[in-house]
Amino acid sequence: MNVLQNYIKKSLSILFLSIFLPLFSIASIVFLIKMATYTAVIQLSLFEMSKLFFFMLPELLFYTLPISFFVAATLTLFKLSNDNEIVVIFALGIKPKFILKTLFVPALILSSILFFNFFVLFPHAKILSNNFLSYKKSEAKFNLSASEFGHKFGEWLLYIGKDNQNGTYSDVILFNKKLNEEVLVGAKQAQIINDSGVLRLKLTSGEGYSYSKEKFTQIDFKTMFINDTMKTDLDEYQTPLEYWFPNKASSKIEKKLITNILLSLFPLLSLFAIASIGIVHVRHQKGKVYLFLFASIITYYALAMSLQLVLSFYAIAFLVVGWLGSTYTIYKKNIVAKF
């Protein structure tokens, strides 16, 4: 029995890798194209694109692993049927449930990995990705250069006389027109500083003027900081539970949680479907395997994404019971009754 289990698992692992790698590559290309659209707004180096891709890795794995397992497990059983090995197995008195027990362990491990991936890793990677993009977008707003035209700097108009090679600016003038007064600030040198997501302007050796109908004020300064003109909006969370169950209810996060739970359970819930599709009489059912294979994936994913819109958290119990019940009925009728 152990030899047969190892043989099935070995065939499963080979097919799994041959399906997962191309599927993962295609999904990666799609994500890379999506990342390329960010470059229209922000500048990304090769290292920064690699960093952003790493943040998206948990999401990529979450959507490719369950499909790869379902297809690989089904084709493993189909290969056994096609080579007439499944007939020999059943002729030796081995029941179909032995195959289900063999596939149960890898399915359970994969479902556990998927649940840990989306519940623990996904929030952390999502927050890092969003904060990284927010940081780069805020940084892009400070793409300043010397010109005859001014730059918008929060509530200020900024004029730069000269760009320096060390990342600083010379002969800087800022103007701010408020309701009752106007403020003019001039500095010999300026530098952009990013302090934990807060971008601010450091002015050195300058003068400031404030004038209104009532008074005129002048100050001289060695160093001045203009803070919080454009603050990067950073998301924060302490634990995965706080992300998935925030104090302020979010329908978007709730729907995502329900869908991800159902997709995580897909390998476990589809064992009867895998056996029903993969174990076939080659002469009669060979042409229908791939049709049933992709129809099952589309049906389950469509139900997982649509039922939660109507049933909320009840969709989990409804789909689990409904999918297991329907696939077991098909399994019992097409597999157990015949073999």
HEC string of 39-81? CCCCCCCHHHHHHHHHHHHHHHHHHHHHHHHHHHHHHHHHHHH
If you average pLDDT over every residue of the chain, what do you get? Answer: 84
**Residue 2 confidence (pLDDT):** 80
Is the residue at 12 inside a domain?
Answer: yes
pLDDT at 144 over 60: no
- Longest CA span, the chain: 103
Q: Is 6 exposed, middle or buried (0-12, 13-18, 19+ CB in 10 A)?
A: exposed
Lowest mean pLDDT among 34-48, 51-65, 313-327: 34-48
Lowest mean pLDDT among 89-93, 235-239, 259-263: 235-239
Confidence of residue 229 (pLDDT cuts 50, 70, 90): very low
Comparison of pLDDT for 143 and 212, the residue scoring more: 212
Same domain for 253 and 128, yes or no, is yes
List the one residue out of 98, 136, 114, 6 whose CA is nearest residue 62.
114
pLDDT at 116 over 90: yes
Mean pLDDT of 262-277: 95
Cα 331 to chain centroid distance, Å, stands at 35
Cα(125)–Cα(134) distance, integer angstroms: 14
Domain that holds residue 163: 151-231
**Residue 280 confidence (pLDDT):** 82
For 197, residues 6+ apart whose C-beta sits below 8 A from its C-beta are 131, 134, 135, 138, 231, 232, 234
Is the residue at 144 inside a domain?
Answer: no
Is the residue at 111 inside a domain?
Answer: yes
Q: 171: how many CB neighbours lie within 10 A of its CB?
A: 14
Same domain for 170 and 303, yes or no, is no
Confidence of residue 74 (pLDDT cuts 50, 70, 90): very high
Same domain for 128 and 168, yes or no, is no
Is the residue at 319 inside a domain?
Answer: yes
Same domain for 124 and 8, yes or no, is yes
Confidence of residue 338 (pLDDT cuts 50, 70, 90): confident
Long-range contact pairs involving 253-256 (C-beta distance under 8 Å, separation at least 24): 254/312, 254/313, 255/308, 255/309
Residue 29, classed as helix, strand or coil, is helix
Confidence of residue 303 (pLDDT cuts 50, 70, 90): very high
Same domain for 128 and 259, yes or no, is yes
**Residue 126 confidence (pLDDT):** 85
**Residue 142 confidence (pLDDT):** 53
Same domain for 244 and 311, yes or no, is yes
Proportion of the chain above pLDDT 70, given as a percent? 84
Is the residue at 145 inside a domain?
Answer: no
Can you state the angle between helices 46-82 and 289-311, rounded to 10 degrees? 120
Confidence of residue 216 (pLDDT cuts 50, 70, 90): confident
Q: What is the pTM (predicted TM-score) of this model?
A: 0.76
Tell me which of 231, 260, 289 is where a domain ends.
231
Cα 159 to chain centroid distance, Å, stands at 40
Q: What backbone torsions phi and psi does residue 39 show, to the nearest 5 degrees?
A: -70, -10
Same domain for 169 and 311, yes or no, is no
Domain count, the chain: 2
Same domain for 222 and 240, yes or no, is no
Is the residue at 146 inside a domain?
Answer: no
Proportion of the chain above pLDDT 90, given as a percent? 35
Going through the chain in order, the beta strands assigned E by DSSP cover 151-153, 156-163, 168-177, 181-195, 198-212, 216-231
Tell me which of 181, 211, 231 is where a domain ends.
231
Is the residue at 14 inside a domain?
Answer: yes
Same domain for 113 and 261, yes or no, is yes
Tell me which of 207, 231, 255 is where a domain ends.
231
Same domain for 41 and 14, yes or no, is yes
pLDDT at 260 over 90: yes
Comparison of pLDDT for 34 and 227, the residue scoring more: 34
Tokens 């995580």 correspond to 264
Same domain for 257 and 224, yes or no, is no
Same domain for 120 and 12, yes or no, is yes
Is the residue at 193 inside a domain?
Answer: yes
